[in-house]
Amino acid sequence: MIIRYDKDLSKQCIFANGDELAQIMGHDRDNDGNRVYNYPDDKKEHVVTIDNPVLVTNNYRISNLEPSLRDTVFALFSRPVTTTEYDGTKLRFEQKKYTGAWGPSIDTLLFCRGLEHINLEDVTDAIELGCGSGFLSKYTLDNAPNLENMTLVDFNKYAILCAYDNINDPRAMFVTGDAVKYLTGKSYDLILCNPPYILRPKSIDDNAYEGLELLHYMITNADEHLNDGGKIITNISSISRDEVYKFIEDAGVEAREIDSMEVPLKVYNVLNNEEWMNYLLDRHHLKKERKDGYDYWQRIAITEINV
Ligand SMILES: C[S@@+](CC[C@H](N)C(=O)[O-])C[C@H]1O[C@@H](n2cnc3c(N)ncnc32)[C@H](O)[C@@H]1O
C-alpha cells in the first residue's frame, strides 16, 4: 500500500500497489487471460482519499466507507509493507522487519509540514534524536539545500535499520544508541526531535511514546548543543505542555509554535491502562470528548526553540 499525503495534509490518498493489484484489486489476468501474480512496486491504483486526516490509520473513518471499499482498505492496511509519501519524500516501512520501530505517524507528517516555516538554508549540520523510521531526516535531507551532515540516532536498532534501508545518501550517518549520551561534546545547526511525550506515574523512559527524558535534556542543554543561530525543532503535546514549558522557562530559552493539529490519542498501551489514563486525565491536558470516532484528544504543536 502507498499512502500519499497532500503537502497541506488536507488529503490522505491510499493506493494499492505491486502484488496487491493481483491479490486484492482483482487484476489477476492479463489481456490474453493468463494468470498474473506479480506487479512491480511502482505500479499502483488509487483506492480512496480520506479528507483532513488526523491519524495515519483511522479505523473509524475507514469503517464508515461503503462495505466493499471499507474491507478493501482494511485489507490494504493489514498488508506487511506501507510506503509513505509526503512532498516527494518516500519511505518504505515493514513493521515485522523493523520490530518495535515507530513508522511515520501523523505527528511525523505534521512535523514535516511545520518545517516549511523554518529557514533550512543556513543548516549544514543536523541531527535527529529518536529518528524512528527516519522519515523526518529523509525529508530534511531532501529539503535543506546546504545540508552536509545529517546524523540519525535511535536506541532501537530496527529503527536505525529502517532508516538505513531507506536513506541512500552519503550525508547521512546512522547511530544506534542513547541520543543523550551521543550528544556529549557535540553541537549542531539543527536538532530535530519528535520525542516521546506521554507522562506516566513512576515513568520509565525506554520506549517510543512515554517519558520526557529527551525533551528535558534537549531543552536544558540547548545552549551546549546548538551552534550560533542554531535551533531545535520539536513536538510538544498538550498532554505534557505544562511540564515542557516549565523546562523552557527554567532553561531561559525561547519557544515559538510553528504548526499544530488536534489529534486523537491512539496508543493502546496507554488507553488500556486505567491507572495511567486517570493520571493523564486528572493531572494533565488530555481531553475526553467523543468526536470523529475517538474519545481522547490532544493538541500537538511543532515548536522551534532558540537559545
Ligand atoms: C515518537 S517516536 C518518533 C520517531 C520519528 N522521529 C518520527 O517522527 O516518526 C520517538 C523515537 O525516539 C526514540 N527514543 C526515545 N528516547 C530515546 C533516547 N534517549 N535515545 C535514542 N532514541 C530514543 C524511540 O525509540 C522512538 O523511535
**pLDDT per 10-residue tile (average), the chain, 307 residues:** 98 98 96 96 98 98 97 97 98 96 97 97 97 98 98 97 98 97 97 91 61 91 97 96 94 98 93 90 84 96 97
Please report the pLDDT score of residue 265 as a whole number. 95
Please report the pLDDT score of residue 200 as a whole number. 77
Distance (Å, rounded) from C-alpha 181 to C-alpha 167?
24
Please give the DSSP secondary-structure letter assigned to residue 64.
T
Please report the pLDDT score of residue 205 as a whole number. 54
Please report the pLDDT score of residue 167 as a whole number. 98
- Asked whether 103 lines ligand 1 (CB < 6 A), one says no
Residues near 197 by Cβ (< 8 Å), separated by ≥ 6? 209, 212, 215, 235, 236, 237, 239, 240, 244
Distance (Å, rounded) from C-alpha 75 to C-alpha 160?
28
Residues near 245 by Cβ (< 8 Å), separated by ≥ 6? 236, 255
Decide: 258 and 302 in contact? Cβ < 8 Å: yes
CA of 102 from ligand 1 middle (Å) equals: 8
Please report the pLDDT score of residue 209 as a whole number. 65
- Asked whether 297 lines ligand 1 (CB < 6 A), one says no
CA distances from 128 to 131, 189, 198, 230, 252 (A): 6, 11, 19, 14, 23
The most distant pair of C-alpha atoms in the chain lies apart, rounded to whole Å, by 72
- Asked whether 210 lines ligand 1 (CB < 6 A), one says no
CA of 184 from ligand 1 middle (Å) equals: 18
Domains of the chain, start order: 2-79 (no CATH), 102-306 (3.40.50.150)
Amino acid at residue number 222: A
> Which residue carries 525561547 as its cell?
254
Query: How many alpha carbons fall within 13 Å on the CB side of residue 103?
Result: 20
Please report the pLDDT score of residue 208 as a whole number. 58
- Asked whether 233 lines ligand 1 (CB < 6 A), one says no
Residue 52: closest CA among 95, 94, 89, 8: 8
